[in-house]
Structure 1
């Protein structure tokens, strides 16, 4: 009797352990799907705000999207915002198509950085490429939340010269505008 009770107890512990393990794996998968959905939603929101500010030529609105830390770190922020908005020559962004955003970090291992790149179609028919980098979650450093980098290529994917490299990393603070002429002379 003791042996059968002991065997039943061992079997019950194995079943309970298996259930907890499977539930743990499922929740991690669910967490990753949720994080991907979350980052897509946040980048879509930020992209819309950036495009609206560019189309409205709203330098102050665009400036407010940058984190407080980035506003302090970016040298001549106002001049760079003027350069970015000026690169559109008054043309409006009609569409912005991009890949799913990438992210680095998680809600548990902060900061959560989200990166997006978009092919822009302008009202004059030209195509540009816009890279948006944001810090979305950083509970210990709220001043880091917001945009920290915008990079604009004033040419399309098809026009990128062979060997062209942006001279920034994804974690650099700043606003960077690249023209085709500059890219060809690298």
Structure 2
């Protein structure tokens, strides 16, 4: 039996490192990566089956919960898929209101939880500001320290002016950049 002299450059599907395969069907660089991939696949399949079982078990309960206005913490866990501790933390921070009717009888308004999961609508002004931020290049911007040196202002004063006049700023690495044109208008105008 002869050996193949083929060396096909490939990338391992598990560790994503390059290796040379001897066949076209090789997917992993080693047996270890193949075993890890197999275990991960089986784990995901098991989790998926468990989720399906939970859904089948609670289908009737979920249907009933959809009609009720106030639900318990356990029912919120089933309905929204968040942990009990998260719900209790939201109650403690007063993000959502609750009524405690006795030991283990905390009730939550379902609409308040639904509001937490509703999509966030971005105003047109915020869209325009984010577009403005994208227009400026790094060469056309000052850092906060450059502004304070050039105009002899305290960095905290510069930050307050930037916030007050809603000047677009962007943090890149350790520095905050603001457009030169906007800063010059404000500080030279004063």
User: The TM-score by the shorter chain falls in which range?
Assistant: under 0.3
TM-score (norm 2): 0.25
* Larger of the two Rg values belongs to structure: 2
**Going by fraction, where is strand more abundant, 1 or 2?**
1
Higher relative contact order at CA 8 Å, sep ≥6: structure 1 or structure 2? Answer: 1
TM-score (norm 1): 0.26
